[in-house]
Amino acid sequence: MRTRDLDAIAADIEDAVARLPIGTRVRTAGNPNLGTVRWRPFICDAGTVSVMVRWDGFPPDRDTHYVTTRDLVVI
């Protein structure tokens, strides 16, 4: 990875930490489902920054998923 790529990832993490602390209520852009951020931001496989979200109304075995932070809208 080039330094510029690492700088972009670091900026995404800083933004996510500030915008999406644990307990923040969110939805995804274009999806009406509501959820709550459950974990701090982390770097996903493709170098994107994600958080774990527990979605309202889903069965307990399928209610938590990681979502790219750029796809989340704070409500």
> For all residues of the chain together, what is the average pLDDT?
85
Separation between Cα atoms, residue 40 and residue 36, nearest integer Å: 12
SS3 of 32-46: the string is CCEEEECCCCEECCC
Average pLDDT over residues 6-25: 88
pLDDT of residue 4 exceeding 70: no
- Residue 69's Cβ-side half-sphere holds a number of Cα atoms within 13 Å equal to 27
Q: What is the mean pLDDT of residues 13-31?
A: 89
31 phi, psi to nearest 5 deg: -135, 130
Residue 3 has pLDDT above 60, yes or no: no
From CA 54, how far away is CA 2, in angstroms rounded?
34
Q: How confident is the model at residue 30 (pLDDT cuts 50, 70, 90)?
A: confident
